[in-house]
Chains A and B, each alone.
Chain A
C-alpha cells in the first residue's frame, strides 16, 4: 500500500474536520435559537472527534501524537481546504458551508466504507450514523430557509455564491489520485465531486435558490498543499494558545 498517498488522504480529511469543528464550535452559546445552538454544537463535537480518530490512525502509521499534530503545526503544514478556515460570518454562511461540506463528507465516507485500507473502512462504517444526522440537519435547514422569506433566500443565495468556489476546493486533486484509486483506498476526488454536485443540485432544486454554473467557477485550490487564506494562522494561534504555554505539560 502506498503509505504516502494514504497519509496525504488522512491528513487532509483530519485537518478539514478539525478546522470546521473548531469553527462551528464558535457558535456554541451564540446560536440563533436555543435548540439549534445545541444541535450545531453536537455536530461540531462530532467533527472534532472524527478528526481525532483520523489523527489516531495517522499516529499508528508513525506520525506524531494526535494532540501534537493538531495543536503544534503552523498553517502551511495544514492540508485542509480553504472552505473550512473561513470565518463563520452570519448563520447563513455557516449553514451553507455546513451543507456543502457535510454533503461531500458523507459521500466521501460512504465511498471509504469500501476502502481497501481496513482502519479507514471501519471508521467510515462507525460514523455513518453521525453523518446521517449531519446531512439530515443540513438538508432540512437549507430547504426551510431557502424557501422562506425574501430575506432568508437572499442571504442564502449570497452565501452559496461566496462559498461555492471554496467548496470546489474540497476536491483539489491529490498528487496520488491514481495510486489511491488503483489500490482501492479511495475512489478519488473526481468521482466524489460528481456525486456531490448531483446531491447539492437536488437539494437546491427543492428551494428557491439558484444553483450557480459550477463549470464557470474557479475553484479555490491550494489548501491541500498548505496554501491558505489569512484566516487559518490566527485560528491556529488561538486554538493552541493554552497548549503552547507548555506543550509538554499534561493539561
Chain B
C-alpha cells in the first residue's frame, strides 16, 4: 500500500550537466520507445537516486502498513475474516520483501534500508501514522487505502524501471484480493445492524481526511518534476491520482448510504473533475515530520521487532553466504 506525497522532495539540482550526454540521450530514447531500464543498463545518477528513494519508501510503507491492520489480526470476527486478515497483513510484509529486492538492484542493501527506516531517516506513507480504533477502521484500510494504493501502483507499473514494474505487477495481482476483501467487509457492516453501520460511518469520518492526504499535495510545476515524468519515474500527478480515486470509489461509498465528512465533495459535471475542500496540508506536513498520533509507536514496533530478532539473525549469519545485489 502506498501513496504519493513526500517522495520526490528535497532535490536541489539535477546534476545532469555532469552526465555523459551521449549515454543520457540513449537512455532517454530507450524510455521514449517504451522500453524498460534494467539494472545492468547505464542510468543517470539522479534516476538511480530518485528510484531508490521511491521504491524504498514504497517498501517501508508496506512493512509499516502491516501495523494498523495488524491491530485487528487477533480480533477478526469469524473464520473467514480471521484467515483473510492474516493473509492480507502477510501480503503487506511480502510486498515489502519484493520491493526491497527491486530497490536492491539499484545498489542499496536491504539492511541499510531497514536501518534508515528505523532511524527515521527514510519516510513511509503518512496514512499509516493514524490508528485503527475499531474493526471498521481496519475495513476502511483494507478497502480504500488499498484502493488508493492500487491507483498509484497501476500507474507506477507502467514506469520505466524493469525490476520495480515486475514487482508491482505481482503486488497489484495480490492487491485485487485485498480490495475485494475490504469491500466485502464494508458491505457487510453497511448492510448489517445499526451498531455495525454506525461503526463503519465513524471510520469514514475519521479516515477521510488522511485518505485525501494520501496522494500528496498538488505537484508543483518544476524542471525537476518534469524530468521525473519524462523518465517515467513519476507517472501521473498527485491530483490526477486523487481524482481517479474519487471517481472510482466515492460512488461506491455513497451507494452504501454512507456520508463523507466534506460538504463540498462533488463531481463537477462540466469539468468532469471532483471538487473538495482543500485538505489540511499543514497537518499533513506535521504528521510526515513525526508529529502524528502513531509515528512513535510505528517506529518503536519496528525497532523492537528488529531488536528482538537480532539474536536470531546473528545466529544464522554464517560465513558460507555473502551479500550481493540481486540480478533482476
State the A residues within 8 Å of B (CB). 22, 25-26, 28-38, 41-42, 44-45, 48-49, 52, 66-67, 70-71, 90-91, 144-145, 148-149, 151-152, 155, 238-243, 245-246, 249-251
Contacts and interface: CB of A to CB of B under 8 A. Distances in A.
Interface string B297-328: 00001001100111111111010000000000
Contact of B86 (A25, A242, A249): A25
B93 A249 contact: no
B96 A149 contact: no
Interface string B75-90: 1111101110011011
A70 B315 CA distance: 38
Given A28-B90, A32-B312, A152-B315, A238 B67 contact: no
A52 B81 CA distance: 12
A26 B305 contact: no
A35 B313 CA distance: 12
B6 interface: no
B196 A31 contact: no
Contacts of B308: 30, 32, 90-91
B305 A45 contact: no
Contacts of A242: 72, 75-77, 135
Nearest to A37: B93
Nearest to A52: B79
Given A148-B316, A151-B315, A238 B86 contact: no
B79 A30 contact: no
Nearest to B96: A34
Contacts of A34: 63, 93, 96-97, 100, 110
A29 B193 contact: no
B188 interface: yes
A41 B83 CA distance: 10
Given A31-B305, A249-B193, A243 B77 contact: yes
A238 B73 CA distance: 10
Interface of B: 63, 66-67, 70, 72-79, 81-83, 86-87, 89-90, 92-94, 96-97, 100, 110, 135, 185, 188-189, 192-193, 195-196, 301, 304-305, 308-316, 318
B315 A144 contact: yes
Contacts of B304: 30
Contacts of A245: 77, 195
Given A30-B301, A38-B93, 16 more contacts: A28-B66, A30-B305, A31-B305, A34-B63, A34-B100, A41-B90, A49-B83, A71-B78, A145-B315, A148-B316, A152-B314, A152-B315, A238-B75, A241-B75, A250-B188, A251-B77
Contacts, number: 135
A41 B93 contact: yes
**Which of A37, A44, A240 has the most chain B CB atoms inside 10 A of its CB?**
A37
A245 B193 CA distance: 11
A151 B308 CA distance: 13
Contacts of B192: 246, 249-251
Given A48-B82, A155-B311, A28 B93 contact: yes
A145 B189 CA distance: 46
A250 B188 CA distance: 7
A90 B92 CA distance: 23
A52 B83 CA distance: 10
Nearest to B98: A34
A169 B147 CA distance: 47
Contact of A44 (B86, B195, B314): B86
A39 to B, nearest CB: 9
21 contacts: A26-B73, A26-B74, A28-B86, A29-B305, A31-B93, A32-B310, A33-B312, A34-B93, A34-B100, A38-B93, A41-B93, A45-B86, A67-B78, A70-B79, A144-B315, A149-B311, A152-B312, A240-B75, A249-B192, A251-B81, A251-B192
Contacts of B315: 144-145, 148-149, 151-152
B309 A149 contact: no
A42 B91 CA distance: 10
A30 B79 CA distance: 22
A91 B94 contact: no
Contacts of B86: 25, 28, 41, 44-45, 48
Contacts of B313: 32-33
Nearest to B311: A151
Nearest to B318: A148
Contacts of A37: 90, 93
A72 to B, nearest CB: 11
B74 A238 contact: yes
Contact of A25 (B74, B79, B188, B195): B74
Contacts of B314: 149, 151-152
Nearest to A22: B74
Contacts of A33: 309, 312-313
B305 A28 contact: no
